[in-house]
Structure 1
Amino acid sequence: MPSSKPADTAGGEPHSLNGRPDTGVLAELSAQIRGAIARNGGWLPFDQFMGLALYAPGLGYYSNSSRKFGALPSSGSDFVTAPELSPLFGQALAQQVAQALQATGTQEVFEFGAGSGALAEQVISSLEALGQPLARYTIIDLSGELRERQALRLARFGDRVQWAQTWPSAMRGVVLGNEVLDAMPVNLLHFDGQQWLERGVVWDEATQAFAHADRPTDLRPSLEDLSGFVPGTTTEVHPQAEAFIRSLAEHLQHGVALFLDYGFPEAEYYHPQRIGGTLMCHQAHVADTDPLVNVGLKDITAHVNFTGVALAAQDAGLQILGYTSQARFLMNCGLMPLLAAASVQERTMAQKLITEHEMGELFKVIALASAEVTLDPVGFVAGDRTHRL
């Protein structure tokens, strides 16, 4: 069965073997991480380890030559995202994009972390079908290797599609991020019953492998009352994702931002029963919880704390327009008529977008907007959960 996450930087093109980075590339990444550990006194915070493992130029998981996205392990991929699962995902999302473009009087979409380019292809085509063609679709992606694959897929749209490696100085339009926030490095915290410790990474000379090591820290989960945490709990905090939202507020002069990802509001994220946290790895459509092995060969993610995202947005001057499950959002955006017109095979795949045990409930959608925008977004007309954030 295909694995949708979660299951149960520019750089040169690395050499590859059967679609996977060769051993030299993996050894170079390991050496780079060991060097960072040594320069940091023998201990590296987990967010820095995760950043290198995923984004080290030409070497990290998202920068090397491995195929990430696909429906089945036989394709050499590691997981499937909603746009690869069904084109109806992008078609439904385009309804919300079209409304937001009209409300803001803009003609540009910005997508962060565009993956295979499938979502961009679906959104651009769907907006054309709706009679609302874009002037420009800008993809902001750190991975040079992924940019090359996106360019091949989106070539038919010509120079309307552009790429950037850094924040555009002024953004006016609609911002999209599908499974972007979950891939931002996180800090790991461990509660031993007496104190909070930050979990980092060291190099163990005896085993010649990476290992975890804890240090006292002032970092804490964002809950006001920390008394409910069970001794032995490991969890995450998300300063980089929240900093990203603050940067978005600085650059989004006039527009709407939509983020779709798996996660929870704060009360669920830090529930006392979630003692192992949410950190997860994905390789060949199999999920595991050990980020210290096969470094560079597998994805490392953490669920999104949507309360943290919302508070960071509000503190930076953005509005919260809505928050709901992916299933409710897509149905509000017209997925059901699209399903009715689809083939049986297309319906089977698209159903995974909304069924509760697949992506429908675990995945959420949050809509943010610059202060002056007036919009009652169609994707949240029923089932809005903003009050739960």
Structure 2
Amino acid sequence: MTTQPSLTTELSHHIAQAIAHAGGWVGFDAFMDMALYTPGLGYYAHGSAKFGALPYTVQDGVRVAGSDFVTAPEITPLFGWTLAKQVAQAFEVTGTHEIWEFGAGSGALALQLLQALQATGVAVSNYTIVDISGSLRARQQATLAAFAAQVRWVDALPDQLQGVVLGNEVLDAMPVKLLARVGGVWHERGVALGAVDAGAPDATPTFTWQDRPTDLRPSLDVPGEHDYLTEIHPQGEAFVRTLGQKLQQGAIFLLDYGFPEAEYYHPQRHMGTVMCHQAHQVDDDPLVRVGQKDITAHVNFTGVALAGNAADLGVLGYCNQAQFLMNCGFLTHLAAADLPTRVMAQKLIMTHEMGEFFKVIGFFKGEPWQAIGFDAGDKTHTL
């Protein structure tokens, strides 16, 4: 814990220099990218205790910082064991035996999938993790030691790939541009340097919001004249297009929180969706405690679908996480689990928890097929 303030100060100086070199202003997407991914300093580039169920632990009577947020694989291994059924079907239909996982976090999902597929006799020739965080990679390697012969890590994608591509809570961590309609005029909301204490030149720099007029617009017109803040997702959509261009054979499944376009740009959603996570607390100010907390934005799944279509990907389906998991046999796993496991696992399908909040979208390359995860409750028509 003693190194955290110095890391924050160093990262803030790094971002301040970048802002100065850019003429005193950078778009929020650039700020978010630096805050999360600056090598050695950004939130995902230092430390490994991001994911887990507890905001702190107690060791020898001393409170020690724990995780900042929990993802589905950390809540229960039933998540990965259920998803494995969809992966197995995709293997069979597409004739592939490789998995590519982006942003593998603690490695919990990879472990669950490999265990489940092994238990059901489904061969996995390679499990490739694409993760730019060196500290998380070390944690993943320890978690997946039993499958060391099958798992590999890469920093970049090859020109071509095949297999099943997975991304659980990946798109929400990709930098977004902020658009603000103020007084009826659209602006790009960016970040400038805040006030500096002249008497403390080595103090941590501060940051402030600054709007600039722009020709950028949300993909859907937002009715009304009221002030309105929202996001567009050029990096996330470019990521999906890249996957589509490189995938020669296989399927893609992306799980995240978000909405279709009509709901994303609803007139009443006027404060945007950017939020931060630290010690299982949520706030909406990414300009403070930079590098100490996660920054995310909800996903526009219509934009994701269109990006996939632009790269010759077809949509297998789109539905909420609860429906997807139940289609894949989650309730069977749940019934066989002990009571503590059932209590935790139900969070994944409860409407007021992750069941409705999270969505799943699937893509295919080549001939269409019916993915079991979308057998019932497919809402592709809402995209």
SS at match of 1:352: helix
CA apart distance, 1:29 = 0.7
Question: Could you tell me which of 98, 102, 118 is aligned with 1:128?
Answer: 118
TM-score normalised by length of structure 1:
0.93
Structure 1 residue 209 corresponds to structure 2 residue 206: yes
Q: Which amino acid aligns with 2:213?
A: P
CA apart distance, 1:231 = 1.9
Q: Which amino acid aligns with 2:41?
A: L
Deviation sequence 1:169-197 (CA, Å, 0-9, x none): 22110000000000000000100132100
Deviation sequence 1:49-96 (CA, Å, 0-9, x none): 000000000110001115101101124110000000010000110000
Alignment-derived partner of residue 337 in structure 2: 342
Structure 1 residue 50 corresponds to structure 2 residue 32: yes
Checking the alignment, whether the CA contact within 8 Å between 2:100 and 2:165 is kept in structure 1 is: yes
1:160-175 alignment, distance < 5 Å: 160-175=150-165
Distance 2:116 2:123 in 1: 9
Distance 2:135 2:336 in 1: 36
Question: Could you tell me which of 80, 85, 94 is aligned with 1:104?
Answer: 94
Identity of aligned residues (%): 59
1:201-280 alignment, distance < 5 Å: 201-206=191-196, 208-223=205-220, 225-226=221-222, 228-280=223-275
Deviation sequence 1:315-363 (CA, Å, 0-9, x none): 1110001000000000000000100000000000000000001000010
Alignment-derived partner of residue 387 in structure 1: 381
1:75-154 alignment, distance < 5 Å: 75=57, 76-154=66-144
Alignment-derived partner of residue 74 in structure 1: 56
Alignment-derived partner of residue 27 in structure 1: 9
Could you say if the C-alpha distance between residues 114 and 68 of structure 1 is closer, same or farther in structure 2, counting changes exceeding 3 Å? Answer: same
Distance 1:337 1:149 in 2: 31
Could you say if the C-alpha distance between residues 230 and 147 of structure 1 is closer, same or farther in structure 2, counting changes exceeding 3 Å? Answer: farther
Alignment-derived partner of residue 39 in structure 1: 21
SS at match of 2:258: strand
Alignment-derived partner of residue 326 in structure 1: 321
For structure 2, the residue ranges without an aligned partner over 5 or more in a row are 58-65, 198-204
Superposed CA RMSD in Å reads 1.1
Structure 1 residue 199 corresponds to structure 2 residue 189: yes
Deviation sequence 1:143-189 (CA, Å, 0-9, x none): 01111110010011022100001112221100000000000000001
Distance 1:279 1:324 in 2: 23
CA apart distance, 1:229 = 4.3
CA apart distance, 1:133 = 2.2
CA apart distance, 1:99 = 0.2
TM-score normalised by length of structure 2:
0.94
Distance 2:264 2:239 in 1: 20
Checking the alignment, whether the CA contact within 8 Å between 1:138 and 1:164 is kept in structure 2 is: yes
**Residues paired across the two proteins, number:** 368
Deviation sequence 1:293-313 (CA, Å, 0-9, x none): 000000000000000000111
Question: Could you tell me which of 299, 306, 314 is aligned with 1:304?
Answer: 299
Structure 1 residue 288 corresponds to structure 2 residue 283: yes
Alignment-derived partner of residue 369 in structure 2: 375
